[in-house]
Amino acid sequence: MRVIFITLLLLAGTPYLHAQVRYFFQAEGNLSLLPKINNKGIYVNTFAANPSQASISSNTTFKQKPGFGVSGGAQLKLNEYLAIEASAGVTMLAYRQKNNYHIVTTDGTNYSESKGTYYNGGVTYPVYLAQGPGPVMGYAPYVNPNLAKASLQKKQGNVNIGMASLAAVVKLNLTSKTSIGIGPSLDFLLWAKAYSENVYVMGSDDPDYIFIWTPMTEKRDIKKDLTSTGVAGHIQLEHQLTDQFALQAAFSQAVNKLYKDQEMTLSGGKARMRNVSIGLRYYLK
């Protein structure tokens, strides 16, 4: 980003500027705060013997989970009131995703309704599952509602995400020891893991039938389902404890969508990462 690039150039500038630069390291704990989202859509299952229409609505909640991060950077004092800083860091974020589904299916004069709650990480979209003499509709990120069960295992639905970030912040001194800062970051996805019940499709001697079964909860890689590069905004509050140590609290909000859209993604809200953090900063001088 242009803002981050300009900040880095300033910090690498003249000898006078170097005299005003303070280098730092920081360790922090964070807590995810993703808000609830609602989605809906209407889809036609053309694979059925009699084409059926499914009206789907879902609401997804994200339970707060703790994470941590480390970073390092440099701060340039511009005058008595203003400073700019640039930093690079790695952050681990976590949450538990709960998906509540309500589906109404109509097929001519036939009408069916079902509800379900499943703990899996991912974007909500319809999928076709093979079962019996022809495919039926299922809904990601959970498996076939006829065969899967909402697990009571505590890990089900847990998601862990690793991000590398480059950030730039402008800080304003409120008092001699307290400052407030605001700025953007450019974030890069390193990893994404989720615990969920996976679907395994097994063949049989009869080509019209495919058996589907679900194993115990297992950890899987969902990096391909998430946005790989994004931008976030940050608000920081720093309080100097000593000449070298400071406490820093921050609120962060991602601009980009957390999950990539699928071919038939439901319309409605999109998950965007949001979190708060508190850290201890050490200045080298």
Q: Would the pLDDT of 214 be above 50? A: no
Could you tell me where the DSSP H helices lie in 27-100?
Answer: none
Helix, strand, coil percentages for the chain (3-state, nearest 5): 5, 60, 35
Q: What is the mean pLDDT of residues 192-207?
A: 61
- The pLDDT of residue 5: 46
Query: Could you read off the pLDDT of 22-35 as tens digits, one per residue?
Result: 999 999 999 999 99
Least confident of 3-7, 31-35, 164-168: 3-7
Taking the C-alpha atoms of residue 149 and residue 265, their distance in angstroms, rounded to an integer, is 23
The CA dihedral of 188, 193, 196, 200, to the nearest 10 degrees, is: 100
87 or 197, which is more confident?
A: 87
Per-residue pLDDT band at 152 (split at 50, 70, 90): very low
Query: Could you read off the pLDDT of 56-94 as tens digits, one per residue?
Result: 888 899 999 999 999 999 999 998 899 999 999 999 999
Taking the C-alpha atoms of residue 165 and residue 273, their distance in angstroms, rounded to an integer, is 14
Provide the whole-model pTM.
Answer: 0.80
- The pLDDT of residue 137: 54
Could you tell me where the DSSP H helices lie in 211-276?
Answer: none
Burial 202-236 (b: 16+ CB within 10 A, else e): eeeeeeeeeebebeebeeeebeebbbeebebebeb
Taking the C-alpha atoms of residue 228 and residue 226, their distance in angstroms, rounded to an integer, is 6
Per-residue pLDDT band at 191 (split at 50, 70, 90): very high
- The pLDDT of residue 253: 97
Query: Could you read off the pLDDT of 226-285 as tens digits, one per residue?
Result: 999 999 999 999 999 999 999 999 999 999 999 988 777 778 889 999 999 999 999 997
- The pLDDT of residue 194: 86
Residues above pLDDT 90, as percent of the chain: 47
- The pLDDT of residue 129: 52
Q: Would the pLDDT of 142 be above 80? A: no
177 or 112, which is more confident?
A: 177
